[in-house]
Amino acid sequence: MRRVELGISQRPERYEAHDIASLVVNSFRFSRGNAVCQDAILGYIATSFGSCFVLETFPDAVSQAQRKVLSTYNRLHISKNASESLVRSEAEDYTEMLKGFVFYPDKKMRASLLAEGITSQLIDSDYKWLPRTRHAEEKPPLPRPYNSNLVTYGFLDKSTGRPEFRAIFDFATRSILGGQLPKSDDLDWAENVVAEHYKYQPIDRVALQARLTDTVLESAIN
Protein backbone atom coordinates (compact mmCIF):
# COMPACT_ATOMS: atom_id res chain seq x y z
CA MET A 1 0.00 0.00 0.00
CA ARG A 2 1.50 3.32 -1.06
CA ARG A 3 2.07 5.87 1.64
CA VAL A 4 0.81 9.37 0.95
CA GLU A 5 3.22 12.08 2.01
CA LEU A 6 2.03 15.53 3.01
CA GLY A 7 3.21 17.97 0.36
CA ILE A 8 3.62 21.72 0.66
CA SER A 9 0.71 22.20 -1.73
CA GLN A 10 -1.58 20.57 0.83
CA ARG A 11 -0.73 23.07 3.55
CA PRO A 12 -3.28 25.86 3.94
CA GLU A 13 -1.87 29.35 3.45
CA ARG A 14 -3.66 30.53 6.57
CA TYR A 15 -5.88 28.98 9.21
CA GLU A 16 -9.18 30.74 9.79
CA ALA A 17 -11.06 30.47 13.07
CA HIS A 18 -13.14 27.53 11.83
CA ASP A 19 -9.94 25.67 10.86
CA ILE A 20 -8.47 26.12 14.33
CA ALA A 21 -11.73 25.00 15.91
CA SER A 22 -11.69 21.91 13.69
CA LEU A 23 -8.12 21.10 14.75
CA VAL A 24 -9.06 21.35 18.43
CA VAL A 25 -12.22 19.26 18.03
CA ASN A 26 -10.31 16.56 16.16
CA SER A 27 -7.60 16.55 18.80
CA PHE A 28 -10.30 15.38 21.24
CA ARG A 29 -11.45 12.77 18.72
CA PHE A 30 -8.10 11.25 17.85
CA SER A 31 -6.71 11.31 21.41
CA ARG A 32 -9.73 9.31 22.69
CA GLY A 33 -9.83 11.40 25.84
CA ASN A 34 -6.15 10.85 26.64
CA ALA A 35 -4.94 14.28 27.78
CA VAL A 36 -1.23 13.60 27.17
CA CYS A 37 -1.99 12.31 23.69
CA GLN A 38 -4.06 15.41 22.97
CA ASP A 39 -1.18 17.62 24.10
CA ALA A 40 1.14 15.71 21.75
CA ILE A 41 -1.28 16.08 18.83
CA LEU A 42 -1.48 19.83 19.31
CA GLY A 43 2.27 20.00 19.77
CA TYR A 44 2.80 18.18 16.48
CA ILE A 45 0.39 20.51 14.66
CA ALA A 46 2.01 23.62 16.13
CA THR A 47 5.50 22.38 15.26
CA SER A 48 4.68 21.26 11.72
CA PHE A 49 2.09 23.86 10.67
CA GLY A 50 2.99 26.88 12.80
CA SER A 51 3.44 29.19 9.81
CA CYS A 52 -0.25 28.77 8.91
CA PHE A 53 -1.55 30.38 12.13
CA VAL A 54 -2.47 34.02 12.61
CA LEU A 55 -2.84 35.33 16.15
CA GLU A 56 -5.93 37.44 15.43
CA THR A 57 -8.03 34.40 14.52
CA PHE A 58 -7.82 32.78 17.95
CA PRO A 59 -10.54 34.72 19.83
CA ASP A 60 -13.19 33.58 17.34
CA ALA A 61 -11.64 30.11 17.28
CA VAL A 62 -12.30 29.67 21.01
CA SER A 63 -16.05 30.23 20.72
CA GLN A 64 -16.28 28.06 17.60
CA ALA A 65 -14.32 25.25 19.25
CA GLN A 66 -16.61 25.41 22.29
CA ARG A 67 -19.71 25.05 20.12
CA LYS A 68 -18.22 22.22 18.05
CA VAL A 69 -16.95 20.23 21.04
CA LEU A 70 -20.24 20.63 22.90
CA SER A 71 -22.17 19.53 19.82
CA THR A 72 -19.95 16.46 19.47
CA TYR A 73 -20.35 15.57 23.16
CA ASN A 74 -24.12 15.86 22.87
CA ARG A 75 -24.21 13.75 19.71
CA LEU A 76 -22.16 11.02 21.37
CA HIS A 77 -24.13 11.28 24.62
CA ILE A 78 -20.96 12.13 26.53
CA SER A 79 -22.31 15.33 28.04
CA LYS A 80 -24.23 13.42 30.72
CA ASN A 81 -20.84 12.75 32.34
CA ALA A 82 -19.53 16.30 31.89
CA SER A 83 -21.23 19.62 32.52
CA GLU A 84 -21.57 22.12 29.69
CA SER A 85 -19.33 24.56 31.54
CA LEU A 86 -16.60 21.91 31.85
CA VAL A 87 -16.83 21.06 28.16
CA ARG A 88 -16.58 24.74 27.20
CA SER A 89 -13.67 25.22 29.57
CA GLU A 90 -11.76 22.28 28.10
CA ALA A 91 -12.32 23.51 24.54
CA GLU A 92 -11.04 26.96 25.51
CA ASP A 93 -8.04 25.53 27.38
CA TYR A 94 -6.91 23.41 24.43
CA THR A 95 -7.40 26.25 21.96
CA GLU A 96 -5.28 28.49 24.17
CA MET A 97 -2.72 25.70 24.51
CA LEU A 98 -2.42 25.49 20.74
CA LYS A 99 -1.97 29.27 20.54
CA GLY A 100 0.77 29.09 23.15
CA PHE A 101 2.56 26.29 21.32
CA VAL A 102 2.60 28.38 18.14
CA PHE A 103 3.33 31.90 19.38
CA TYR A 104 5.01 31.80 22.79
CA PRO A 105 8.75 31.01 22.71
CA ASP A 106 8.74 29.44 26.17
CA LYS A 107 6.09 26.93 25.06
CA LYS A 108 7.44 26.16 21.60
CA MET A 109 10.13 23.89 23.07
CA ARG A 110 7.49 21.89 24.98
CA ALA A 111 5.46 21.58 21.78
CA SER A 112 8.49 20.22 19.97
CA LEU A 113 9.19 17.66 22.70
CA LEU A 114 5.55 16.57 22.74
CA ALA A 115 5.57 16.19 18.96
CA GLU A 116 8.52 13.80 19.17
CA GLY A 117 6.44 11.48 21.37
CA ILE A 118 3.32 11.47 19.19
CA THR A 119 3.72 7.83 18.09
CA SER A 120 3.99 6.53 21.65
CA GLN A 121 1.00 8.59 22.71
CA LEU A 122 -1.21 7.32 19.88
CA ILE A 123 -0.29 3.75 20.78
CA ASP A 124 -0.94 4.47 24.46
CA SER A 125 -4.31 6.03 23.67
CA ASP A 126 -5.46 3.02 21.63
CA TYR A 127 -4.11 0.56 24.20
CA LYS A 128 -5.87 2.23 27.12
CA TRP A 129 -9.11 2.24 25.15
CA LEU A 130 -9.16 -1.58 25.11
CA PRO A 131 -10.71 -2.12 28.57
CA ARG A 132 -13.19 0.69 27.91
CA THR A 133 -14.76 -1.08 24.95
CA ARG A 134 -18.51 -0.85 25.23
CA HIS A 135 -20.82 -3.76 24.50
CA ALA A 136 -24.14 -3.95 22.72
CA GLU A 137 -26.18 -3.92 25.94
CA GLU A 138 -24.84 -0.49 26.90
CA LYS A 139 -26.79 2.60 25.97
CA PRO A 140 -26.10 4.03 23.55
CA PRO A 141 -24.24 1.05 22.07
CA LEU A 142 -21.17 1.65 19.93
CA PRO A 143 -21.63 0.52 16.33
CA ARG A 144 -18.47 -1.57 16.64
CA PRO A 145 -17.04 -3.22 19.78
CA TYR A 146 -13.47 -2.03 19.26
CA ASN A 147 -11.54 -0.20 16.63
CA SER A 148 -8.02 1.18 16.68
CA ASN A 149 -7.31 4.68 15.43
CA LEU A 150 -3.79 3.64 14.46
CA VAL A 151 -5.09 0.73 12.41
CA THR A 152 -7.96 2.65 10.85
CA TYR A 153 -6.20 5.90 9.99
CA GLY A 154 -2.58 4.74 9.96
CA PHE A 155 -2.11 1.24 8.60
CA LEU A 156 -5.30 1.28 6.51
CA ASP A 157 -4.98 4.91 5.34
CA LYS A 158 -8.63 5.76 5.87
CA SER A 159 -9.50 9.43 5.66
CA THR A 160 -8.89 11.59 8.73
CA GLY A 161 -10.76 14.53 7.22
CA ARG A 162 -7.82 16.93 7.55
CA PRO A 163 -4.26 16.88 6.14
CA GLU A 164 -2.76 17.62 9.56
CA PHE A 165 -4.06 14.35 10.99
CA ARG A 166 -3.12 12.50 7.82
CA ALA A 167 0.44 13.71 8.44
CA ILE A 168 0.29 12.59 12.09
CA PHE A 169 -0.88 9.05 11.29
CA ASP A 170 1.56 8.71 8.39
CA PHE A 171 4.40 9.70 10.72
CA ALA A 172 3.26 7.23 13.39
CA THR A 173 2.93 4.42 10.85
CA ARG A 174 6.43 5.00 9.50
CA SER A 175 7.81 5.08 13.04
CA ILE A 176 6.15 1.82 14.07
CA LEU A 177 6.88 -0.18 10.93
CA GLY A 178 10.38 1.27 10.76
CA GLY A 179 11.13 0.18 14.32
CA GLN A 180 11.72 3.75 15.49
CA LEU A 181 9.82 3.60 18.75
CA PRO A 182 10.93 5.66 21.75
CA LYS A 183 9.52 3.39 24.49
CA SER A 184 10.44 -0.24 25.06
CA ASP A 185 6.82 -1.40 25.44
CA ASP A 186 5.48 0.51 22.42
CA LEU A 187 5.76 -2.45 20.06
CA ASP A 188 4.06 -4.85 22.51
CA TRP A 189 1.20 -2.44 23.01
CA ALA A 190 0.89 -1.85 19.26
CA GLU A 191 0.68 -5.62 18.71
CA ASN A 192 -2.14 -5.86 21.27
CA VAL A 193 -4.04 -3.03 19.61
CA VAL A 194 -3.68 -4.52 16.12
CA ALA A 195 -4.66 -8.00 17.33
CA GLU A 196 -7.80 -6.67 19.01
CA HIS A 197 -8.81 -4.68 15.95
CA TYR A 198 -8.14 -7.71 13.73
CA LYS A 199 -10.31 -9.86 16.00
CA TYR A 200 -13.33 -7.55 16.12
CA GLN A 201 -13.17 -5.96 12.66
CA PRO A 202 -13.31 -8.86 10.17
CA ILE A 203 -14.03 -6.42 7.35
CA ASP A 204 -10.45 -5.11 7.69
CA ARG A 205 -8.63 -8.46 7.88
CA VAL A 206 -7.66 -8.84 4.22
CA ALA A 207 -6.34 -5.30 4.03
CA LEU A 208 -4.40 -5.73 7.29
CA GLN A 209 -2.83 -8.95 6.06
CA ALA A 210 -1.67 -7.18 2.91
CA ARG A 211 -0.35 -4.22 4.91
CA LEU A 212 1.35 -5.94 7.84
CA THR A 213 2.69 -9.21 6.44
CA ASP A 214 6.52 -9.23 6.65
CA THR A 215 6.53 -6.31 9.10
CA VAL A 216 7.25 -6.07 12.83
CA LEU A 217 3.50 -6.43 13.45
CA GLU A 218 2.94 -9.62 11.45
CA SER A 219 2.48 -11.72 14.58
CA ALA A 220 -0.56 -9.62 15.54
CA ILE A 221 -2.55 -10.83 12.53
CA ASN A 222 -1.67 -14.52 12.78
Q: Which residues of 194-214 are buried (b: 16+ CB within 10 A; e: fewer)?
A: bbbbbeebeebeebbeebbee
Tell me the C-alpha distance between 119 and 182, whole Å.
8
Helices 58-75 and 17-31 pack at an angle, to 10 degrees, of 40
pLDDT band with cut points at 50, 70 and 90 for residue 9: very low
Tell me the C-alpha distance between 8 and 33, whole Å.
30
Residue 63 pLDDT more than 50?
yes
Number of C-beta neighbours around residue 134 at 10 A:
13
- The more confident residue out of 12 and 196 is 196
pLDDT, tens only, 22-50: 999 999 999 998 999 999 999 999 999 99
What's the whole-number mean pLDDT along residues 53-76?
A: 88
- The more confident residue out of 63 and 182 is 63
Tell me the C-alpha distance between 160 and 15, whole Å.
18
Residue 136 pLDDT more than 50?
no
Tell me the C-alpha distance between 58 and 213, whole Å.
45
How far, CA to CA in Å, does 153 sit from each of 3, 11, 169? 12, 19, 6
